[in-house]
């Protein structure tokens, strides 16, 4: 198979820059990179594979007809341009929320449901970062024991909000005034149970993404995952405290083995030796880490878990690149 002609829309953002790193690490075969960004970045350069590549406009990148376009420039850009790329026969892997719940677009985590991508699909959606690391753990457990319901409490890194959130945290820690804060309250030395906007039902959009996307990815409308999403002053990744109730009985040793055998999941579960997943140790890694695995005290078929992943990696950039890698290995552009 020949190398790819690949477009990266949003090449200068936090996730876009991470995608460049991940493409090199995973050795995605790219012969020609077409980076695009906002007008103020056009003409600047990004580095990839030891070369400098000039940032272009989205229009120019579309005219160059790449085989695949990775989008990470926000929902508005994706809604405007992804259909145009798709009409031109270009496969789009979109990291925004724009297409996730569209019935015509598969919502994909390759290890979980890569086979959901049809040969005619041209817009493939990347799940929300919180959902993504969650379903990596849910998939093998649902297959083995069948999940009836679950409760998730998240502890989400400020990097999920973007550059402005990092500036706000660093300014607060330096005792400087914060211009145009992205959060309604200080984030340093604080926790905000407020990720995205609140809906009429009292849940935020982030929390509803977990409810809706989990069902679509697992292909089961009976998997009910209620969520409380919390923003914390952490840089390295998202953490999740997860409680699951199963239809079938389970043994903890079997649970650990099922998780350890699943690709992309690493079990770190020796609490007596202070070994458990943390954002500091997950940062910069592509895997999903799980620990604190224990049976519920009141329900024999209830299980508690602690899940951590770098939200810029597996939660966004890595999964996007893995989708492109999966399609390449399936021979889409042969």
Crossing angle of helices 129-145 and 205-218, in 10° steps, is 40
Query: CB within 8 A of 117, min separation 6: which ones?
Result: 106, 108, 124, 323, 326, 327
Q: Which of 105, 195, 227, 238 is the catalytic position? A: 238
* Residue that the structure tokens 């959902």 belong to: 131
Q: Which of 129, 142, 195, 227 is the catalytic position? A: 129
Residue 1: C-alpha distances to residues 30, 68, 114, 122 (Å): 11, 15, 20, 20
Computed on alpha carbons and rounded to an integer, the radius of gyration of the chain in Å comes to 20
Q: Annotated catalytic, 238?
A: yes
Q: Annotated catalytic, 191?
A: no
Contacts by residues 294-302 (CB-CB < 8 Å, ≥ 24 positions apart): 294/252, 295/252, 296/243, 299/245, 300/249, 301/145, 301/245, 301/246, 301/247, 301/248, 301/249, 301/250, 302/243, 302/244, 302/245, 302/246
Active site residues per annotation: 129, 238
């Amino acid at each position: 198979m020949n190398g790819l002609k690949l477009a990266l829309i949003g090449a200068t953002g936090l996730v876009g820059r991470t995608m460049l790193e991940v493409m090199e690490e995973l050795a995605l075969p790219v012969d020609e990179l077409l980076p695009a960004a906002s007008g103020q970045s056009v003409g600047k350069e990004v580095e990839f594979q030891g070369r400098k590549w000039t940032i272009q406009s989205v229009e120019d990148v579309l005219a160059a007809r790449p085989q695949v376009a990775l989008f990470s420039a926000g929902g508005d850009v994706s809604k405007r341009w992804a259909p145009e790329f798709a009409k031109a026969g270009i496969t789009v892997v979109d990291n925004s929320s724009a297409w996730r719940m569209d019935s015509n677009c598969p919502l994909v985590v390759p290890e979980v449901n890569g086979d959901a991508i049809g040969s005619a699909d041209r817009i493939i959606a990347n799940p929300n970062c919180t959902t993504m690391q969650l379903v990596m753990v849910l998939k093998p457990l649902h297959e083995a024991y069948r999940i009836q319901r679950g409760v998730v409490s998240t502890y989400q890194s400020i990097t999920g909000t973007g550059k402005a959130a990092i500036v706000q945290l660093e300014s607060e820690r330096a005792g400087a005034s914060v211009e145009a804060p992205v959060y309604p309250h200080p984030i340093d030395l604080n926790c905000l149970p407020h990720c995205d906007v609140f809906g009429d039902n009292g849940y935020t959009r982030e929390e509803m993404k977990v409810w809706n996307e989990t069902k679509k990815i697992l292909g089961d409308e009976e998997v009910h995952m209620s969520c409380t999403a919390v923003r914390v002053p952490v840089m390295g990744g998202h953490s999740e405290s997860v409680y699951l109730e199963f239809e079938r009985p389970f043994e903890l040793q079997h649970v650990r083995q099922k998780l350890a055998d699943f690709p992309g999941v690493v079990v770190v579960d020796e609490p007596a030796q202070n070994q458990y997943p943390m954002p500091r140790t997950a940062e910069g890694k592509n895997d999903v880490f799980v620990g604190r695995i224990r049976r519920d005290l009141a329900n024999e078929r209830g299980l508690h878990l602690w899940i951590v992943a770098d939200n810029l990696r597996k939660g966004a950039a890595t999964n996007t690149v893995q989708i492109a890698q999966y399609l390449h290995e399936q021979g889409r552009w042969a």
